Structure formats: structure tokens, C-alpha cells
Amino acid sequence: MALSAFLQAVARLCDAPSLTFTDDAQSIFDNWLVHHERRLRSDHAKHEALVAHLSKYRYLLPSLALLYQIGSGDGEKVSHHAVQASVRWCNYLESHTRHVYSLGVDYDTAPLTARDVLRKRWG
């Protein structure tokens, strides 16, 4: 809460609009962030380039949630719907990121094969 209060104070000083999470949205984000940080520090994310890439998601998710909220035009706070949509999008991006990194790194995830590309009609 201290960070939120600080950001609101800075926004008031700058005379800029500020959006915060609803209580439900904050809870969803907090739970996601704890899980995300644990996975980054575990053996599951072994390669430092992958960890560096995924560590940016802690800023990506709230940014996406803000964009979803602005796009919806609902309310003055970022809703739990916007955060949930952002969590799904980050999970989707992470799955593709892991595939890309698995091509050049010996990694636990199954590598992307020609069959995968053909099956998904990406090629």
C-alpha cells in the first residue's frame, strides 16, 4: 500500500491522472506476482536470458491491464477483469517465449518442431 500511496502522491504533484487496481484486481496481481517471482528464482527458469526476459513481465502485466481498462472505458480503477485478461495474455506470451528460447538453449520445454509449425499453420 505504501507504493500505491506514493504513486498517487506523485501523480497529484504532477497533476496527472492516476488509475489504481480495485481490491480484487490487486489481490489477483499480488498472487500472480508472488507465483511469477518464485518461478523466476526456481530451477524451472534456468537460462539467465530467459529469466531476464520473463522478469519484465512484472511491468508488462499491469501495463496491459491499464490498456485493457482504458479500452473498456469502465470506471476509474483497473478491474479484476482487466487483470485476469492480462494474466492470460502474459501466460500466452510466456509459452511462446519458452519455445523460442528452447530453440537455442538446452531447456526443459519440448523444442518447437516442424510438425508444430505445420499443425498450427504458422508456415
**Residue 47 near residue 105 (C-beta atoms within 8 A):** yes
Strand partners for 78:
21
Q: For residue range 58-107, what is the model confidence (pLDDT) as tens digits?
A: 999 999 999 898 888 877 899 999 999 999 999 999 988 888 877 765 54
Q: Hey, how many other C-beta atoms are within 10 angstroms of the C-beta on 109?
A: 14
Place of cell 496481481: 29
- Extents of the domains making up the chain: 20-112
Q: What is the pTM of this model?
A: 0.68
**Residue 20 near residue 77 (C-beta atoms within 8 A):** yes
